[in-house]
């Protein structure tokens, strides 16, 4: 596969996947392999410690490149699947090199000059990107917004109450590793039958969660924010308002972490005009 600065597949845009070795990046490579006829060159980019690894994409073994400014030379679109602080630093540099950035972090979602786009709901918004960056919502918002957007277009949404039951993969590889470690600890024991016994057995090995997730549900996801809300709950509220262009929409959200590896679930109670 061509390296930076070389011509990719004729007539097709060059794509950079930044964070290719992460949890989301791994899924992205699977999707790209299912749609192999869209892109020309695909550059896989990650931290210097992952540089040189080989990953499969479109049936080809492709070497991972270290994240540098030069890696964006000639790139048309850069997909960022990295922590917020990495996106904040590197996305503008990719734009300066001429790329359109599609960012999966929370860094730019609520910036007024960055569109928050879900193609099935507001595809027109992608054309207005003064900073050269397009954001996409969190996975919890994304799980409901396509259906909610269609209903809003037809009936006019006026109030939303939602609860999310979020898999540990929402906390990345660390979340998945924590659940697997805790499941191994409790397997074959009587833990989970007495109040606090799992907590005592796990000790401080809770990973990115405030409490054990094995044999448990944790009524908290994210970090503390104003008025007693968690960051995950405010994400769902604020992202829904922005995508649907309803800045004053009354929204109440409760986010709960559940002991499954992947797939979030939600309950959604929506009220529409005329109800």
* Cβ contact 151:157 at 8 Å: yes
DSSP the chain: ---TTS--STTS--EEEETTTSHHHHHHHHHHHHTTTS-S-EEEEE-GGGTT-EEEETTEEEEEEE--GGGGTT-SEEEE-S-HHHHHHHHHHHHHTTPEEEE-SSSSTT-TTS-B--TTT-GGGGG--TTSEEE---HHHHHHHHHHHHHHHHH-EEEEEEEEEE-GGGGHHHHHHHHHHHHHHHTTS-TTSSTTHHHHHHTT--TTSSS--TT--BS--S-B-GGG-BHHHHHHHHHHHHHTT-TT--EEEEEEE-S-SS--EEEEEEEETT-
Q: Which candidate in 152, 245, 264, 269 is catalytic?
A: 264
Q: Which candidate in 139, 245, 255, 269 is catalytic?
A: 139
| Number of Cβ atoms within 10 Å of the Cβ of 157 | 20
Told to judge if 264 belongs to the known catalytic residues of this protein, a careful annotator would answer yes
Residues that are catalytic: 139, 264
């Amino acid at each position: 596969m061509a390296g930076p600065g070389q011509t990719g597949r004729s007539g097709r845009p060059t794509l950079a996947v930044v964070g290719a070795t992460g949890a989301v990046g791994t899924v992205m490579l699977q999707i790209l392999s299912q749609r192999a006829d869209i892109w020309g060159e695909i550059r896989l980019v990650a931290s210097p410690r992952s540089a040189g690894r080989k990953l499969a994409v479109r049936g080809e073994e492709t070497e991972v490149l270290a994240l540098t400014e030069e890696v964006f030379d000639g790139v048309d679109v850069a997909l960022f699947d990295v922590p917020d602080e990495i996106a904040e630093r590197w996305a503008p540099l990719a734009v300066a090199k001429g790329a359109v950035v599609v960012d999966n972090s929370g860094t730019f979602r609520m910036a007024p000059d960055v569109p928050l786009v879900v193609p099935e709901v507001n595809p027109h918004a992608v054309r207005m990107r003064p900073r050269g960056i397009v954001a996409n919502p969190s996975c919890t918002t994304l799980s409901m917004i396509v259906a909610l957007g269609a209903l809003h277009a037809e009936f006019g949404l006026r109030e939303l109450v939602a609860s999310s039951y979020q898999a540990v993969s929402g906390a990345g590889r660390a979340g998945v590793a924590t659940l697997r470690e805790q499941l191994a600890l409790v397997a074959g024991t009587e833990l989970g039958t007495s109040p606090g016994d799992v907590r005592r057995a796990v000790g401080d090995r809770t990973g990115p969660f405030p409490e054990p997730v094995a044999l448990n549900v944790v009524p908290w996801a994210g970090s503390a924010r104003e008025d007693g809300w968690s960051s995950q709950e405010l994400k769902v509220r604020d992202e829904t308002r922005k995508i649907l262009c309803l800045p004053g929409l009354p929204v109440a959200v409760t986010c709960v972490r559940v002991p499954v590896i992947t797939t979030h679930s939600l309950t959604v109670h929506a009220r529409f005009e005329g109800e």
